[in-house]
């Protein structure tokens, strides 16, 4: 036993040494590939880099490319960038292409889309089909990331010849349409008129049609038909019906197909004329759908015996899936009180502040308070913070003034003077001169003359601390206020009004030149989907040359909302003819309006926050 001790000791020492000293495995391509297959991409990348350093070109460059790919797989793009090999001069064409393609991938992974596109734009197109597919795919990714819609379309179109079959081509086109709409959602402008190539322009136009259809499916058929007429041979024609028209029509009917919609309006009595316009607009909206897809519509007169409560009960007993209306504020309050069953309601007026219905009660109105708030927000966005406010002596005027003041002060502005005028009067000199401090200027002049004892040349001056004027009221009053503001040296001040002060009649608006106001697209847009809807429906609301009624547009949007509110997948805002509609936290439909300024009696479009 004693003779074996040295041998046992030696074995023991070897075992200890093996347990504490790592075994160094020399780098090899097979070993790197094994590490990559096990998901240890960083270790594989390190080994490929070691092999690249130990091997001269061209083998060393190929090994460096492998290292870059593994660093990308390990989600370490900065290490991948550092591993990109320098190429000899002149470089091998295939390796130059591969390096460029890898560099695009690296910059995309590093969230550097502009640099990725710069590289992609400079890289020549390869001829081998497999390389071309990868090349155009990466150009597509770079253009999408960099927000370049025209280049995205060109890259996608270049991929079509490499598609295996028609199914794959359709898949490419659907993906392109989705990507263009994603760019629009990111705020990238899709401008068909900015490009000359008809196929590219057609794709940009189709993306806009698709976006509009998702916001207003009632006009989807008309808009897509117009697009098909503009681009009869365009490849997008293969997906118009399957990806735009049919999905939007189907989505809009979710929850309503085969179920009646009740429309509660005062169809008799003193509000019958207004109710009739709303009814006609509502029915016209639903008529935009194919007859087989329209929900059943039933009308109930809230001015008949029993009033709102009876009309509501009848609608519920007859199985209404949604109740739209009533129209007046008092009726809306009564409807909420009578709706013990909790049937979904779309009220066509606003409830008093602080009052809400059930979780399925929505409120939609042409609220002047909303316009006042939007005026305050616009003024603040243009740096106009100090206001003079002129509103009529009425509950309407008080509500508008209060809404404006609350919004302006919440944004850091202030109301210097809030004056009320009697709309029955023909002039408002006292209110305007007091607000502008013209009387104070005259009083100072009189005191100076008394002190000096002589006559002085004098021109009154208005106060200098005001940024803008907000004047709310009906057309007759506004046509009096604007000239008097000019007469009393305030014609240079930006002057806003609510849409109530505007009549779509150039002869009636010359006295209000320069006035700025928000209003519904129905009255301001001369082209596009809203103008098309107005033209198509015109025979239903009046003879040619008559003014398009606001309440018809209000009813039309109520019809659109009746579909949208029953679809949980609806994409807000709804592109309505009365504005872009979005429910707020209290389920009031907020209307974002268009902007205009009167020039020579006609409204000229303004951008939402552009300076005058």
Domain ranges in the chain are 157-252, 257-366+527-578, 368-519
pLDDT for the residue 458: 41
- CB-CB neighbours of 345 under 10 Å: 26
pLDDT for the residue 258: 54
pLDDT for the residue 294: 81
* SS3 at position 43: helix
Q: Identify the DSSP state of 243.
A: I
- End-to-end alpha carbon distance in the chain: 107
Q: Which CATH class is domain 257-366+527-578?
A: alpha beta
Q: 187-219: b or e for each residue (b if 16 or more CB lie within 10 Å)? A: ebebebeebeeeebbbbbbbbbbbbbbbbbbbb
pLDDT for the residue 427: 78
Residue reference for tokens 């109105």: 365
The ranges of the chain with pLDDT < 50 are: 1-4, 6-24, 249-253, 255, 441-442, 444-445, 448-450, 452, 456-458, 610-612
pLDDT digits (tens, 9 = 90+) for 347-402: 999 998 888 888 889 999 999 999 999 999 999 999 999 999 999 999 999 999 99
pLDDT for the residue 114: 96
CATH topology of domain 368-519: Rossmann fold (3.40.50)
Residue reference for tokens 């509103």: 391
368-519 has the same fold as 257-366+527-578: yes
Reference 117, options 157, 145, 85; nearest CA is 145
- DSSP string covering 490-524: -TTS-EE--GGG--S-GGGSGGGTT-EEEE-HHHH
Contact 322, 289 (CB under 8 A): no
- DSSP string covering 420-483: EE-TTSS--HHHHHHHHTHHHHHHHHHHHHHHH-S---------SS--EEEE-S-HHHHHHHHH
Residues 484, 486: Cα–Cα separation, whole Å: 5
- CB-CB neighbours of 285 under 10 Å: 26
pLDDT for the residue 503: 82
Contact 282, 263 (CB under 8 A): yes
């Amino acid at each position: 036993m004693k003779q074996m001790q040295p041998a046992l000791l030696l074995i023991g020492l070897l075992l200890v040494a093996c347990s504490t000293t790592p075994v160094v495995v020399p780098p090899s391509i097979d070993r790197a590939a094994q590490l990559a297959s096990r998901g240890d991409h960083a270790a594989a990348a390190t080994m490929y880099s070691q092999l690249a350093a130990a091997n001269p070109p061209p083998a060393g460059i190929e090994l460096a490319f492998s290292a870059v790919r593994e660093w990308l797989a390990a989600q370490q793009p900065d290490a991948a960038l550092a591993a990109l090999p320098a190429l000899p001069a002149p470089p091998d064409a295939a390796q130059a292409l591969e390096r460029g393609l890898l560099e695009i991938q690296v910059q995309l992974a590093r969230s550097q889309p502009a640099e990725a596109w710069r590289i992609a734009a400079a890289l020549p197109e390869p001829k081998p089909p497999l390389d071309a597919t990868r090349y155009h795919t990466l150009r597509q990714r770079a253009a999408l990331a960099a927000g370049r819609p025209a280049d995205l379309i060109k890259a996608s179109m270049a991929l079509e010849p490499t598609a295996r079959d028609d199914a794959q081509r359709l898949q490419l086109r659907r993906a392109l349409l989705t990507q263009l709409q994603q760019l629009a959602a990111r705020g990238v402008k899709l401008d068909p008129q900015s490009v000359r190539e008809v196929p590219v322009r057609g794709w940009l136009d189709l993306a806009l049609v698709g976006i509009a259809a998702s916001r207003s499916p009632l006009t989807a058929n008309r808009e897509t038909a117009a697009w098909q007429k503009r681009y009869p041979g365009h490849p997008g024609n293969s997906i118009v019906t399957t990806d735009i028209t049919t999905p939007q029509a189907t989505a809009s009917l979710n929850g309503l197909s085969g179920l009646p919609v009740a429309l509660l309006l005062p169809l008799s009595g003193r509000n019958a004329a207004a109710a009739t316009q709303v009814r006609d607009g509502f029915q016209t909206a639903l008529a935009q759908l194919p007859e087989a897809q329209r929900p059943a519509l039933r009308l109930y007169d809230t001015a008949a015996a029993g009033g709102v409560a009876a009309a509501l009960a009848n609608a519920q007993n007859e199985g209404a899936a949604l109740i739209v209306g009533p129209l007046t504020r008092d009726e809306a309050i009564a409807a909420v009180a009578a709706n013990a069953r909790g049937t979904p309601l779309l009220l066509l007026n606003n409830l008093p502040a602080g009052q809400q219905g059930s979780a399925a009660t929505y409120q939609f109105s042409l609220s002047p308070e909303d316009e006042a708030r939007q005026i305050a927000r616009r003024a603040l966005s243009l740096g106009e913070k100090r206001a003079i406010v002129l509103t009529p002596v009425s509950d309407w005027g008080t509500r508008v003034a209060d809404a404006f003041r609350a919004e302006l002060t919440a944004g850091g502005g202030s109301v210097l003077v809030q004056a009320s005028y009697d709309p029955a009067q023909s002039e408002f000199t006292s209110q305007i001169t007091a607000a502008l401090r013209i009387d104070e200027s005259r009083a100072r002049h009189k005191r100076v003359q008394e002190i000096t004892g002589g006559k002085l040349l004098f021109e009154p001056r208005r106060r200098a601390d005001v940024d803008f004027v907000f004047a709310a009221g009906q057309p007759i009053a506004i046509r009096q206020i604007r000239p008097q503001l000019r007469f009393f040296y305030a014609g240079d001040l930006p002057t806003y009004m609510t849409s109530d002060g505007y009549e779509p009649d150039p002869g009636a608006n010359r006295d209000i030149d320069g006035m700025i106001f928000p209003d519904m697209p129905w009255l301001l847009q001369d082209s596009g989907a809203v103008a098309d809807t107005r033209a198509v429906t015109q025979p239903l609301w009046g003879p040619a040359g008559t003014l398009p009624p606001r309440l018809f547009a209000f009813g039309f949007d109520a019809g659109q909302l009746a579909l949208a509110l029953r679809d949980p997948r609806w994409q807000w805002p709804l592109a309505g003819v009365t504005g872009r509609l979005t429910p707020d936290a209290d389920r009031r439909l907020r209307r974002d309006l268009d902007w205009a300024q009167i020039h020579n009696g006609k409204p000229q479009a303004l951008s939402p926050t552009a300076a005058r």
